[in-house]
Amino acid sequence: MTHPRRNVSRRGFVVGAAGLGAAVLLPASTTAASAAPSTRPGPRPDGSSRSRAEQSWRALQTYFRVDDGSGLYREQHPSASTDNPYSYEWPFSQAHVAALDLTGMVGVGRRYDAALRDHVRAQRHYRVAEGTTGLPGYGSYPSPPYGAQAGDIFYDDNEWVGLKDVQQHLVGADRDGAALRDAERIFDLVVSAWDDDDSHAAPGGFFWTQATWSTDRNTVSNMPAAELGLRLHQLTGRKRYRDWALRAYRWTNEHLQRDSGLYDDHLDLAGVVEDTVWSYNQGVPVGVNVLLHALTGQRRYLDEAERIADAAARWFADPEHPLEGQPPFFNSIYFKNLLLLDAATGRSAHRRAMEAWADHVWRQQRDDATGLFLFDPGSATASAPGTTQMIQQAAMTQVYAVLAWPRSRYRLLY
């Protein structure tokens, strides 16, 4: 089965709006010695963000939800005649996370408990009983009867579901422990993806997919695995999770991290590095280092988190590669991990940067008539505003929902 989402995830959408000023978008450097976490309450949840989250969610349900009882979504709006009936797993997982993030909003979160349960049920449509490593996981497309055949297993797809599971457990929405068990099964699947062939250049690292057309080992298949492993170690105390997390963390740092602190995208079996700088590949290592600091108490991990965050801020302040040129579903992951850093330092610089970007998107890239976000101006015509990918709408729903959280809950993110 072909997998269009791989094309989406390997190139940014060209954004037509003017770039934001770096002083507005990006926080000041924090590499100087940081203060201990503040005892001040921090910024209050933003009521306008809550309203924006709810409006974005309604548009997501109106234009993408398939009305056939499956609980699944379409890939884009308007749909094309060649589209599959349902979205791929990666977009669905982000709609699932959006439902979870909405439940955390102050004052109104309980309204979305039923939606979260619906997404938990629909997630099962992507289950694959046995992949190429003999373990179950989530395929890239719904399994029969919803799809003609299950899609290939992508390890990063599964890691996002695992991290969603952990967040669901941490916020108290995992009353029977099913989400935590699912996260543990996913981690077993990921461990089976470790490259143990010493004949490869830079042996080690988790492969990106079970599909035969790729043998890449990616930042996005290794750092989210490390984050998931550290979370599972926190929750269960099992040393195995920590050990595998550190193994993935060290391999990625050795082979895909630049001296500046930034991360390249992936490495092939010949040792050739693909050096695109994606925002989520910078954000997740920040979160990993924050978790390592929490687990060990070692200041060096928090310093490293700040170093990576500062390097990313400088990179995206450059007009050659602005943050608004990154896919919004990468930026949602990027900013959530930066909020984890804010929670650890007691600061609000990254929240302010997130607010500035989110406000820019709301004002410049949203169609007021539909509530849909428009990131692909090339798809617009005189009679139609353009195409919106479901994953874009889901990502922006997440962003506004999390901005409606109190800072005390940031530590529960990824």
**Is pLDDT of 224 > 80?**
yes
Q: Out of 37-51, 234-248, 382-396, which region has the weakest mean confidence (pLDDT)?
A: 37-51
Asked if residue 195 is part of any domain, the answer here is yes
Q: How far apart are CA 344 and CA 333, in angstroms?
A: 17
pLDDT in tens, 259-277: 999 999 999 999 999 999 9
Q: How far apart are CA 313 and CA 333, in angstroms?
A: 15
- The sign of the CA dihedral 381, 363, 101, 340 is positive
Report the percent of the chain where pLDDT is more than 90: 84
Asked if residue 8 is part of any domain, the answer here is no
C-alpha distances out from residue 116 to 96, 113, 232, Å: 7, 5, 22
pTM, to two decimals: 0.90
Domain range for 327 = 16-412
Asked if residue 5 is part of any domain, the answer here is no
Residue 151 contacts by C-beta under 8 Å, 6 or more apart in sequence? 1, 3, 88, 89, 126, 139, 140, 141, 142
pLDDT band of residue 384 (cuts 50, 70, 90) is: low
- What is the average pLDDT value for the chain, to the nearest integer? 90
> Is there a contact between 185 and 173 (Cβ–Cβ < 8 Å)?
no
Instruction: Find, among 362, 382, 383, the residue nearest to 374 by Cα.
Output: 362
Q: Which pLDDT value is given to residue 358?
A: 97
Burial class (CB in 10 A: 0-12, 13-18, 19+), 215: middle
Asked if residue 222 is part of any domain, the answer here is yes
Asked if residue 6 is part of any domain, the answer here is no
Asked if residue 7 is part of any domain, the answer here is no
**Is pLDDT of 14 > 90?**
no
Asked if residue 273 is part of any domain, the answer here is yes
* CATH number where 159 lies: 1.50.10.20
pLDDT in tens, 49-79: 999 999 999 999 999 999 999 999 999 999 9
Asked if residue 192 is part of any domain, the answer here is yes
Give the chain's domain count: 1
